[in-house]
Amino acid sequence: MILLPDDFVVTPWEVSGDIDYDRLIERFGTQKIDDELVARLVKHTGEMHTMLRRGIFYSHRDLNLILDDHEKGRGFVMYTGRGPSGHTHLGHLMPWIFTKYLQDRFGVELYFQLTDDEKFLFLPELSLEDTKNFAYENALDIIALGFDKDKTRIFLDTEYAHQMYNIALKVAKKVTFSTAKAVFGFDNSNNIGSIWFTSMQAATAFLPSVLKGENIRCVIPCAIDQDPHFRVARDIAEGIGFYKPALLHCKMLPSLAGSDKMSASLPSTSIFTVDSAGDIKKKIGNAFTGGAVSVDEQRKNGGNPDICSVYQYFYYIFEEDDAKLDDRWAKCRSGEILCGECKGDLTARVTGFVAKHQEKREKARDVVEEFMLRDCQGGDD
């Protein structure tokens, strides 16, 4: 695909160009989370989350129906997921942190799908053993965030394949290759597993209804690049007897190279939860900023925080205080602070966060089994 200068690509498997998130709402046909909906959400949560206030979670489908069901006492469930192609980075944690906030405030169940089948099918270099191992590593990060053990079910597609396959078949029967081509850009060179896969991703939206034996609405907090899967799921949901899944979309944490999303495939521009303090310092030290060509120049004309990846990290995760964030922006703009100072501040914040996370991550090893959904293994042999 050839990109025009201001163009961008966002699919579940490719994010490139400078993303215009408002245009993405139009392209995908989603709804903006407007002030009224934010107010309705906050009425229930009792607290405005930074990611809502800053418009990081900014788009949705049918969130109003979820709140209707909540208000009528019918309840709802949540579903999110992760494609275990490598270790977890901070970009992955962002929507999970918001998901945990929703779970805490609404007290609802969360189904967490680890698509080890997907990453095996889409990445030539990974074996099923690789993706399964990464799935368990990722599960430690999920648990470390503090999700409620009694209300959170994590599963690997390959370990919960019996349950998932039976639901996915009903999805797959309703989705033509034509649709899959149009939505995901597949062609003849794609393998037949990757073409099938969206059925497994859609199936989780219906899993809670299957397990409960009655329909319950499901909302999926996720980065907006995953929306195409759920557009397919929504199209076929009612035809197979379920509610259309609702969605809550967030923007994607930029990479330290300054654009696109943080990507597990470019390790030097992403910060992973398993990184050492030295790794973090080095990566942030090499981050793309809005600094000028020289210290003198920057003292005189200021830097540009709007294109600075370090500033973005404060904005997205590491500075919840709006006043302090604005202050940093203004001081950069005026040349009062230089890039080294911001990098130092961010390194301290990230290192502190990751160190604490790693402690909780180690403790998660003891309880991981309590979170996992599995079929029994391997039949009667």
Neighbour count for residue 104 (Cβ, 10 Å): 15
Pairing outcome for strands 110-114 and 217-223: unpaired
Which of 162, 300, 324, 365 is close enough to bind a copy of itself by CB under 8 A? 162
Instruction: Using CB under 8 A, count the residues that bind a copy of itself.
Output: 48
Of 40-48, 76-84, 102-110, 154-162, the window that binds a copy of itself (rule: CB under 8 A) is 154-162
Contacts (Cβ under 8 Å, ≥6 apart) of 51: 57, 94, 97, 98, 250, 316
Task: Tell which residue, 339, 364, 358, has the closest CA to residue 279.
Answer: 358
26-55 binders of a copy of itself (CB under 8 A): none
CB nearer a copy of itself, residue 176 or residue 294: 176
Q: What is the DSSP string of 347-368?
A: HHHHHHHHHHHHHHHHHHTTTH
Of 42-50, 53-61, 120-128, 305-313, the window that binds a copy of itself (rule: CB under 8 A) is 120-128
Task: Tell which residue, 194, 191, 162, has the closest CA to residue 377.
Answer: 162
Of 36-44, 286-294, 322-330, 373-381, the window that binds a copy of itself (rule: CB under 8 A) is 373-381
Of 71-79, 116-124, 299-307, 348-356, the window that binds a copy of itself (rule: CB under 8 A) is 116-124
204-233 binders of a copy of itself (CB under 8 A): 211
The yes or no reply on residue 334 touching a copy of itself (CB under 8 A) is no
Q: CA separation (Å) from 5 to 13, 17, 19, 20, 30?
A: 21, 8, 11, 12, 24
The yes or no reply on residue 24 touching a copy of itself (CB under 8 A) is no
**Min separation Cβ 237 and a copy of itself, Å:** 16
**Min separation Cβ 287 and a copy of itself, Å:** 36
Which of 2, 4, 293, 376 is close enough to bind a copy of itself by CB under 8 A? 376
Pairing outcome for strands 14-17 and 217-223: unpaired
CB nearer a copy of itself, residue 191 or residue 268: 191
255 DSSP 8-state letter: P
**Min separation Cβ 153 and a copy of itself, Å:** 9
Residue type, 115: T
The yes or no reply on residue 166 touching a copy of itself (CB under 8 A) is yes
The yes or no reply on residue 377 touching a copy of itself (CB under 8 A) is yes
SS (H, E, C) 62-102: CHHHHHHHHHCCCCEEEEEEECCCCCCEHHHHHHHHHHHHH
CB nearer a copy of itself, residue 101 or residue 242: 242
Judged by phi (left if over 0) then psi (alpha if -120 to 50, else beta), residue 220 lies in: beta
Neighbour count for residue 82 (Cβ, 10 Å): 24
Q: Are 222 and 247 in contact (CB under 8 A)?
A: yes
CB nearer a copy of itself, residue 154 or residue 325: 154
What does the per-residue mask of binding to a copy of itself show for 169-208, with x meaning CB under 8 A?
xx-xxxxxxx-xx----xxxxxxxxxxx-xx---------
Footprint of a copy of itself on this chain (CB under 8 A)?
Answer: 117, 120-121, 128, 155, 158, 160-166, 168-170, 172-178, 180-181, 186-196, 198-199, 211, 373-381
